[in-house]
Structure 1
Amino acid sequence: MKIAIPTNDRKTVAAHTGKCKEFAFYVIENGKLVSKNYEPNLHSHNHGEGCCGRHSGEVHHHDELIEIISKADLLLYLGMGKGLREDLEKESIKIEKAKFIYIEEILADI
């Protein structure tokens, strides 16, 4: 299974998926970590501190995020905007709220 986790520091799950610095990808087989790699969140440089634009009439796309996240079987997250959640559901991408903040704890629990 390949798991994606949004992170800013490679230690904890980012509070906001769309604004994370990067995504950590972990491949788990038979309960053991087989590999890990990181991909930058190219979407975050277009996503300012304010509203994502859905309410201002501005068209806001999550295509870059969908492309990155779809490389995994599961996205574990802490926080996510309604728009991204809806877009992931449309693409049938499995998401689950993380049980822990620290990635090390998540991996130990798998």
Structure 2
Amino acid sequence: MKIAVVTDDGKTICQHFGRAGYYLVASIENGQVIGKEQRPKSGHHTEGMQHNHAAGDCHGFNAHSQSVHAGMVSNITDCQLVIAGGMGMGARQSLSQAGIDVHMTDVADIDTTLKLYLEGKLPNLTERLH
């Protein structure tokens, strides 16, 4: 199993999926982290990837937003789970369509988060979807 965690520094979880600069991808075997790698992540910080908020658009679901979200997902299609501090519904839908589950947390430290998740002790704070 591979778990992608959104981050800016490789140590803490970014509070918003779309604004994170990187993924820390943890490879899991037998309930243990056996390796980690940092991967670039496109997002709202990437030139040309900003959200357009035209009048009448349903934020996160228009064609431009879906294209942005697809770009964010493209580098983690081998992952089964994303852990983030929060995200919009459009990003959540794009991850789901790619077969990637989402878990949201208020735990900041990546190592602690992975440990709690693997122990089944990390609450999924679905109220962090917006």
Please indicate the TM-score interval, normalised by the length of the shorter structure.
Answer: 0.7 to 0.9
- Structure 1 residue ranges (4+ consecutive) displaced by more than 3 angstroms after TM superposition: none
Q: Number of aligned residue pairs: give it.
A: 106
Over the aligned positions, Cα root-mean-square deviation in angstroms equals 1.9
TM-score, with length taken from structure 2 = 0.71
Query: Higher relative contact order at CA 8 Å, sep ≥6: structure 1 or structure 2?
Result: 1
Q: How many angstroms does 1:31 deviate by? A: 2.2
Q: Distance in 1 between matches of 2:96 and 2:105?
A: 17
Q: Distance in 1 between matches of 2:108 and 2:2?
A: 19
Q: Distance in 2 between matches of 1:3 and 1:36?
A: 9
Q: Distance in 2 between matches of 1:27 and 1:91?
A: 18
Aligned to 1:34: 34
Q: Distance in 1 between matches of 2:42 and 2:102?
A: 20
* Matched-pair identity in %: 27
Q: Distance in 1 between matches of 2:30 and 2:98?
A: 27
TM-score, with length taken from structure 1 = 0.82
Q: Distance in 2 between matches of 1:108 and 1:86?
A: 26
**Range that drifts further, 9-18 or 58-67:** 58-67
Aligned to 2:10: 10
Q: How many angstroms does 1:91 deviate by? A: 2.6
